[in-house]
Structure 1
Amino acid sequence: MHKPYLATAFLAASALVLAGCSSDPTADSADDSVVRVVATTNVYGALAEQIGGERVEVSSLITSAAQDPHSYEASARDRLTVQDADLIIENGGGYDSFIDALIGDSDVHVLMAVESAHGYPGNEGHEDHADEEHGHEGEEHADEEHGHEGEEHADEDEHDDHGDHDDHAGHGHIEGFNEHVWFDPHTMIHVVEAIAVELSELDPDGAAEFTAASDAIIEELEGFEAELETLGAEFTGSSVFITEPLPGYIAAAAGLTDVTPEGFAEAVEEGNDVAPAALLAALDVIDSGDVHVVLTNAQTGGSETQRVEDAAEAAGIPVVAFTELLEDGSSYAEWMQDAIQNLADALRS
């Protein structure tokens, strides 16, 4: 996958468009009674809508499940949308770095989801207040094999420094860190809590509503954790081939062993050709008969991933595709439930 960028020509064009739009009568008619939230993807946008209810107005910049967020190029309309935001929710970790140029040196509140993840650089030594509150204190998470030992969560004080967006470490890709954190229910518990905290700071009158809504989502997320633990008890150690890091958190939480040859998934994620030796090793793994299921990213791939999928289907190995964005009309909980159920069905087939 290719990393997103903003060309100089786009920036110049954006400036012209913005100048032309400055007299737009709708530009000054924003409803000041609601918190304006901009999410880079509809995954975080859906959560903000569910937590904020009628007290928020949410705009998601990327909404098509057919689109690759890694290569998204922001538009002039996106820039206008971000300028009006009270809160921006991004994934971080190099996943949606296009948003950084749009934010610039604005003092808008920014919530970066990867900062709630296990093993995220800088989390070491932070007390995990959310784990204590929700019974996760001292919990060993299944993602240890991905470098996520020791659940650590940045405390709420970190969100007070909203103007220092450029100081965050999570804008560029971090070697060895899986930025697809929305597929880790445990991390998302912390993200949901952080959204409620941010909204409460921006709209104190709605704090009770935000907390109640976030608690309901957290209950669903804890249910997903339990389902994955059940799968882990049933299939722990079963081998999976993961063509791209997207479903890595779900696989790890289910106790599955990733047997993808080194270099294969990394090349696919970066949008590079898979080395011939890595492709040959991948096909050998599939042919070995040891792989229980193949997990893919429905929004990315190429000839090499197609060869793996074809080999898996020829060998009678189930192939499960995951998407990076919500389907139209789907809630986050419904989307996650479908992902976990599809994995369970494949494992039990």
Structure 2
Amino acid sequence: MQKPLAALALAAASVIVLTGCATTATPGGDGRVQVVASTNVYGSLAAEIGGDRVEVTSLIDSAAKDPHSYEATARDRLAVQKADLVIENGGGYDSFMEELRDGSDATVITAAEFSHDYPDAIVDDHHGDEHADDEHSEDAHAGHDHIEGFNEHVWFDTHTISHVVEQIADDLTVLDPSGASAYESAAKTLTGELADIETELATLHEKLEGTPVFITEPLPGLLAAAAGLDDVTPDGFASAVEEGNDVAPATLLEGLSLVDSGEVRAVLTNAQTGGGETARIEDAAEQAGIPVLAFSELLQPDQSYAEWMHSALSDLGSLAE
């Protein structure tokens, strides 16, 4: 099933990007700072921080689209090339952004680079931040493969997102100095909401620590870990599903046996990906009376990041009841 992408917001010719700086943007109209995000998760954050002073284009805002395999269009490239600020996830998740921003003068924020788990050797220091300890490797973004051992779904890590929020505010301030106080205030509000989410996670961790769950695809892994859940999925199952490969028969049988035995409290899935093996695990869970919790990679229309996260935590909280 295919759904149309969000309408393309074209950057105005009046915003002229110079080497290392940009003209001061005027809120509203054609003078707004042009922001392009790979998905509406990051587009939502930019819109909350920028308000009327920014125009945000999220290249993917439909749950029917899988950023892992998304094929960018000429319109996408035009949007990125005209952008003042580009926000991507990185880590192999939205690799189509590499080609789109090739030759662009836009400031780039790569969310994965703010993760404590991101491999130091491939940190791309777009901003010269303290989080980048090593020099940028020329092979940092080579290929479209996932980084071995790294869960790139970093939007489910509130620590990472807090740093991303701060960076968005900082970069918008450089691009539009007259909006500095507005950006700072909005970012402060958003970081406060993130702090509330962390508090909720800490409470869940106390209640759910050690609770065994089956995670069919890596998407909710970071959130599950933060909530104290114990991922007991057989090795190789989740990675095969994520890569679109067949799960090894022995691994599938092990997983089915695990669910049938009632050893897991819940099955956590990705609402946007799956396959025959995932369906069999879900069916087995339903027959065993085990809840199946589905998590999305994208926000619903008009849903804020905080609302989206609280909804996900509410689902996890049902396991403590």
Please tell me the TM-score bracket, short chain as reference.
Answer: 0.7 to 0.9
- 4+ runs of 1 displaced by more than 6 Å? none
Q: Give 5+ residue unaligned stretches, structure 1.
A: 1-24, 127-153
Alignment of 1:252-267 (within 5 A): 252-267=225-240
CA apart distance, 1:170: 4.9
Partner residue in 2 for 1:44: 42
Partner residue in 1 for 2:296: 323
CA apart distance, 1:67: 1.5
- Calculate the aligned-residue CA RMSD, in Å: 2.5
CA 340–215 in structure 1, closer or farther in 2 if over 3 Å, else same: same
| Partners of 1:114 and 1:170 within 8 A in 2 | no
Aligned amino acid, residue 221 of structure 1 = L
1:239 maps onto 2:212 in alignment: yes
Partner residue in 2 for 1:133: none
Alignment of 1:276-291 (within 5 A): 276-291=249-264
Alignment of 1:1-349 (within 5 A): 28=13, 33-122=31-120, 157-158=128-129, 167=138, 169-170=140-141, 172=144, 173-345=146-318, 347-349=319-321
CA apart distance, 1:168: 7.6
| Partners of 2:207 and 2:320 within 8 A in 1 | no
Partner residue in 1 for 2:23: none
Aligned amino acid, residue 240 of structure 1 = V
Structure 1 residues 252-307: Cα deviation after superposition (integer angstroms, max 9, x where no partner): 00111000000000000101000101101111111221201110000000000000
| Partners of 1:186 and 1:222 within 8 A in 2 | no
| Partners of 2:154 and 2:160 within 8 A in 1 | yes
CA 155–93 in structure 1, closer or farther in 2 if over 3 Å, else same: closer
CA 155–256 in structure 1, closer or farther in 2 if over 3 Å, else same: farther
Q: Identity percentage over the alignment?
A: 60
Aligned amino acid, residue 73 of structure 2 = S
Q: SS of the residue aligned with 1:266?
A: helix
Aligned amino acid, residue 102 of structure 1 = L
CA apart distance, 1:29: 6.8
Which sits farther off after the overlay, 26-35 or 315-324? Answer: 26-35
Q: How many residues align?
A: 293
CA apart distance, 1:96: 0.4
Aligned amino acid, residue 35 of structure 1 = V
Between the aligned partners of 1:40 and 1:243, the Cα distance in structure 2 is 24
CA apart distance, 1:201: 1.2
Structure 1 residues 200-257: Cα deviation after superposition (integer angstroms, max 9, x where no partner): 1111111111111111111111111111111110110010110000000110001110
Between the aligned partners of 2:260 and 2:249, the Cα distance in structure 1 is 16
